[in-house]
């Protein structure tokens, strides 16, 4: 363990080792083994289990808002957690510029994610047919996902939007990267504000739950869908099909990419 970094040099207690080393590694192990198990047991259930046919008004807004926010939040986390501040400074991004962008972009992304998730939860609670189709994994996933997202945005708001500012890149990020290079630094997060600690813990619990929930659909995002050939459909009255420039057949009535 590298104890040369002075602010992080304090030795970790047993509780710190449990919370910031054992729990994350157990969760990551469950994440990895769980995916293999799920793939072998339940390939046909490896979907988002969409409820689009049961309700689409809330879904039409909630789903894009949540997913767009999530993509932005993931991008922000990659930069903020995985990339050391010395690297961003080396390419000319000052600490001030990083934090200003992170707070603005993170807040927009976080609000989109919270609003979208709120709509997805609301339709699940308020639409009887969806409520009846909500299984045990959903009942665990939705509260855990909501807790993680709400703790994340509350930490950002409390410390970096309305508060004096907290440099999580020299603590939380150091701990996070240490786990993946097998040089854990529990002491790096042990002194972080409670909201950041709770956010990180719920995130790791979410990683452990991931393979047993509908979140597995993330790994089978339908990217090929964007490039797949059109499905041709014709109305009975206009069955004449005209070839298009790309060699695809486009009917007089229309053509769509179908799910």
Q: Judged by CB, which is closer to ligand HEM: 54, or 158? A: 158
Q: Which of residues 194-253 bind ligand HEM (CB under 6 A)?
A: 196, 199-200, 203-204, 206
Residue 205 burial (CB count, 10 A): 17
Within 8 A by CB and 6+ apart from 135, the residues are none
Q: How far is residue 134's CA from residue 37's CA, in Å, rounded to a whole number?
A: 22
Q: Judged by CB, which is closer to ligand HEM: 38, or 77? A: 77
Strand partners, 232: 255
Name the minimum Å distance from CB 23 to ligand HEM.
11
- Candidates 70-78, 86-94, 218-226, 230-238; binding stretch for ligand HEM (CB under 6 A): 70-78
Q: For residue 154, give both structure tokens.
A: 């509350």
DSSP 78: I
Helix, strand and coil in the chain, % to nearest 5: 70, 5, 30
Name the minimum Å distance from CB 64 to ligand HEM.
16
Q: Judged by CB, which is closer to ligand HEM: 98, or 230? A: 98
Name the minimum Å distance from CB 152 to ligand HEM.
3
Name the minimum Å distance from CB 160 to ligand HEM.
4
Q: Does 160 bind ligand HEM (CB under 6 A)?
A: yes
Q: Judged by CB, which is closer to ligand HEM: 130, or 144? A: 144
Q: Which of 35, 38, 67, 77 binds ligand HEM (CB under 6 A)?
A: 77
8 Å CB contact between 220 and 201:
no
Query: HSE-up of 33 (CA within 13 Å, CB side)?
Result: 6
Strand ranges (DSSP E) for the chain? 231-232, 241-243, 249-251, 255-256
Return residues touching ligand HEM (CB under 6 A).
73, 76-77, 80-81, 102-103, 106, 109-110, 113, 145, 148-149, 152-153, 155-156, 160, 168, 172, 176, 196, 199-200, 203-204, 206
């Amino acid at each position: 363990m590298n104890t040369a970094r002075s602010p992080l040099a304090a030795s970790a207690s047993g509780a710190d080792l449990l919370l910031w080393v054992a729990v994350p590694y157990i969760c990551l192990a469950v994440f990895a083994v769980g995916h293999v198990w799920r793939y072998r047991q339940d390939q046909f259930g490896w979907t988002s289990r969409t409820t689009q046919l049961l309700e689409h008004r809330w879904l039409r807004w909630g789903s894009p808002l949540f997913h767009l926010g999530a993509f932005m939040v993931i991008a922000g986390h990659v930069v903020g957690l995985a990339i050391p501040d010395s690297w961003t400074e080396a390419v000319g991004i000052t600490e001030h510029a990083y934090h200003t962008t992170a707070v603005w972009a993170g807040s927009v992304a976080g609000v989109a994610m919270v609003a979208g998730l709120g709509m997805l939860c609301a339709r699940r609670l308020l639409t009887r047919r969806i409520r009846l189709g909500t299984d045990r994994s959903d009942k665990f996933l939705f509260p855990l996902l909501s807790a993680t997202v709400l703790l994340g945005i509350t930490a950002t708001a409390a410390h970096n939007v309305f508060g004096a500012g907290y440099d999580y890149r020299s603590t939380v990020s150091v701990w996070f990267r240490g786990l993946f290079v097998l040089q854990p630094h529990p002491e790096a997060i042990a002194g972080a504000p409670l909201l950041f600690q709770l956010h990180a813990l719920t995130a790791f619990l979410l990683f452990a739950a991931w393979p047993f929930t509908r979140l597995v659909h993330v790994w089978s995002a339908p990217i090929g869908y964007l490039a797949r050939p059109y499905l041709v459909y014709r109305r009975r009255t206009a069955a004449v099909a005209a070839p298009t420039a790309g060699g695809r057949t486009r009917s007089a009535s229309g053509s769509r990419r179908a799910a």
